Structure 1
């Protein structure tokens, strides 16, 4: 069966796009908050559930694995069966998982709840696809920039908010609050968000989905456990080898099935693979830094570094990064119209690298760490804000969901790589007190800065396209869809 794009008749009066944008923003913010809300309180959860560190880290690993598997799959299903329908399902998964987590009596059930929450990763590609379908061409770039910036803002905000929520309301409100928000968003999305005017019909083959899930699980599990097992441990090596074999098998199957889950021809497009490479390297820098800067801040000063911060105090030191990421997301689109989105990605990556190098050598006072994080947030905010737009512009409307889903997935893979590498560097040498030596953090932040510099060089390979060129392409596609609807 051939994969053929068609347009479905649309209702005469559609929801105003700003109402749709509000629902999408809340949906994406809720999902990204859930990525990081539990990071600062893992030690408290370990005590609360009377478990060990290895078990409690599965609250992160399980969520990560689930989101990595379902993000591209939900995006592809949205392209085929309707983005609004799958958005509601993704939000429902977030709500159900949050409710289950809030009520979980054991650590095992809490991990299962986190896996259910990971299905909500579908909100990312679906949001970008709906924006492309519903917004006027001149508004698409700004909307995509803001939603893209929420990926970084939400992750940072989760770390900032975890302490105050836990100390004032208790750890279960880390899940009750997202449940209330996502359940409400699911109902509102079902009522007000219009259904997709573009579909890609055809039965989705099961084998590509199984192979995609299998190699992602093997890779991310190996990377997440490598710092604990050791990079040379047979389990680590075995999982990475299995991931490579399954990846090759997945690609071969995708090239032969009638309706691929991920179109390999699309993945080879210059505008797609270069943007994905940048996303991978940005993920290395961003997720690892958010994961380890709180640990640095909370280290007692008696060890020669750190500030002995509480969870709340450590979060406040990171607040400038979240603020700057959000602000740069608001201005990224106007800047891109002047100098081009490719240039914004390159400049943002360089600024992020500068901030990371500042963090490596300039961290003896809390205000210095806050300033360094503000610089990092400025750079990453600029770069993230333009990545999704570049991906959207590089593919057809029918591929928006799956292409942006894979881009988000690749960022997650980058985050897993960065976190694993950073953990290995930081924990290579310990002080008699049991805390890592300062040189581990310094070297780790230098490596993360190098990854962001590499993202800048990768950004130079992205095909040049002006923001106006993107808008013209999207406007022509919109006109084509309207003609198809009129013809139907």
Structure 2
């Protein structure tokens, strides 16, 4: 048994297992809540901030970009300098961003605050890595399943809360609540979560971090803003091509240094690579429903496709998916130990296929969407629980933070792509003039078909993942 494994087992015996899991899960809920925080006021932001719709779109885009860039970098920082320390730093950045946004009277401050809030997404892969370090091995799978479920639960539960606050109070209170939640989680983390026992030796790859950040920003800006700028515009094509070129150079550089930001040789292992590709597809399948279902529920009945619900009512219809994910988490951990995480990922993809197949046939009554969201909850609950388990079974302990960060980035790429593509479909296949244009029934059918296609891709990739664990390399590490 290695020194790292001995140290990990000694720490797990002295760690309060339940409280640690609950605190880290609360941090995960806090993270996913940030993505639904401004949904209730998004359409009102041009009037609230006296700005154009193109400018207010950056309130969402800035959070997306910050989350994608910070997540893999935070994972490596956690591996090298202590995972709990980086979790606390990310929570502090969230609180700072929340205060800036809450006090901001204009759009610049709000964009800066939202970008800082996006950094909190890095706590999910770090929390999963902490669980591997400090929990008893019999509890790791269930705890990881719960932490993964928070990615969907926080959004599903946070949306009605945000809607309720936005409808009954000044919109700045959304950010004061986010800051207060961050402060509570910060205090609980500092009090309850122990210092993890593993650190990776070497120097932090600052040039690699900068290259990854610039490349990702270029690609994600092209994806998220292409519909506004035009998909064939020089700006969109230039950002996409430039971002891809920078990422290719970044990959070449990472393979040639001793202490890379991400060990691409580990990331290229078949189970890791296929899991990350499946994560992109599953992230797309999740967010396709997040974009299409609420719009269809909220459109007026007079349009012929909508059900005329308020934002709060629509969010309550979507909420069962998050509740299912929460209930499934202990079952997911138990199933992973008995049948393996690959089978769990397959089951999740199948559930998503059934959900979108159901929506293609039944989407005219509120209960149709309740059923579809329950199926989505099963799919994402099983799938998101399985992915970090598959990653951790295939990478050395010293790479868990960075590898889980890369997996989280893969999910973000899927959700970002879904938001862009489904948004284009709903905008293109619409009727009416100007601001009165509304998506047609065909637009929603195409959106559901895209979600179905992504779920089928996730299923095929899951079936290709090897069932046998990859040999774990022993990397140099230092006790924290």
Contact 1:275 1:391 in 2 (8 A): yes
Structure 2 CA distance for partners of 1:363 and 1:5, relative to 1, 3 Å: same
Q: Report matched runs for 1:55-134 at 5 Å.
A: 55-134=55-134
Structure 2 CA distance for partners of 1:94 and 1:253, relative to 1, 3 Å: same
| C-alpha deviation, 1:12, in angstroms | 11
Counterpart position of 1:214: 214
Contact 1:351 1:376 in 2 (8 A): yes
| Normalised TM-score (structure 1) | 0.92
Structure 2 CA distance for partners of 1:188 and 1:367, relative to 1, 3 Å: same
Question: What secondary structure, in the 3-state scheme, does the structure 1 residue paired with 2:255 have?
Answer: helix
1:116-172 C-alpha deviation (Å, 9 max, x unpaired): 112222211210111011000010000001100111111222323221121233322
CA distance in 2, matches of 1:7, 1:109: 48
1:53-80 C-alpha deviation (Å, 9 max, x unpaired): 2122211110010011111111100100
Q: CA RMSD in A?
A: 2.5
Q: Report matched runs for 1:230-309 at 5 Å.
A: 230-309=230-309
Contact 2:80 2:199 in 1 (8 A): yes
Contact 1:98 1:113 in 2 (8 A): yes
Contact 2:12 2:136 in 1 (8 A): no
Question: What secondary structure, in the 3-state scheme, does the structure 2 residue paired with 1:460 have?
Answer: helix
| C-alpha deviation, 1:47, in angstroms | 2.1
Contact 1:336 1:344 in 2 (8 A): yes
CA distance in 2, matches of 1:385, 1:136: 18
| C-alpha deviation, 1:7, in angstroms | 9.2
Counterpart position of 2:172: 172
Contact 1:7 1:198 in 2 (8 A): no
CA distance in 2, matches of 1:290, 1:251: 32
**In the alignment, does 2:453 pair up with 1:460?**
no
**In the alignment, does 2:205 pair up with 1:205?**
yes
Residue 435 (structure 1) aligned to one of 434, 438, 451: 438
Q: Report matched runs for 1:357-368 at 5 Å.
A: 357-368=357-368
Structure 2 CA distance for partners of 1:262 and 1:87, relative to 1, 3 Å: same
Q: Once structures 1 and 2 are overlaid, which stretch shifts more, 173-182 or 153-162?
A: 153-162
Aligned structure 1 segments of 4 or more residues deviating by more than 3 angstroms:
4-15
Contact 1:5 1:200 in 2 (8 A): no
- Number of aligned residues: 473
Question: What secondary structure, in the 3-state scheme, does the structure 1 residue paired with 2:274 have?
Answer: helix
Contact 2:29 2:154 in 1 (8 A): yes
CA distance in 1, matches of 2:439, 2:11: 60
| C-alpha deviation, 1:313, in angstroms | 1.0
Q: Once structures 1 and 2 are overlaid, which stretch shifts more, 321-330 or 105-114?
A: 321-330
| C-alpha deviation, 1:224, in angstroms | 0.4
Counterpart position of 1:32: 32
Contact 2:335 2:344 in 1 (8 A): yes
Question: What secondary structure, in the 3-state scheme, does the structure 2 residue paired with 1:426 have?
Answer: helix
CA distance in 2, matches of 1:52, 1:138: 53
Counterpart position of 1:151: 151
Structure 2 CA distance for partners of 1:388 and 1:42, relative to 1, 3 Å: same
1:173-196 C-alpha deviation (Å, 9 max, x unpaired): 222222112112112222332112
CA distance in 1, matches of 2:58, 2:87: 26
Counterpart position of 1:448: 451
CA distance in 2, matches of 1:131, 1:429: 46
Question: What secondary structure, in the 3-state scheme, does the structure 1 residue paired with 2:167 have?
Answer: helix
1:267-313 C-alpha deviation (Å, 9 max, x unpaired): 11112101101100011111232123212211111111111221101
Question: What secondary structure, in the 3-state scheme, does the structure 2 residue paired with 1:345 have?
Answer: helix
| C-alpha deviation, 1:8, in angstroms | 7.9
Contact 1:67 1:121 in 2 (8 A): yes
| C-alpha deviation, 1:329, in angstroms | 2.2
| C-alpha deviation, 1:101, in angstroms | 1.6
CA distance in 1, matches of 2:353, 2:220: 25
Contact 1:284 1:415 in 2 (8 A): yes
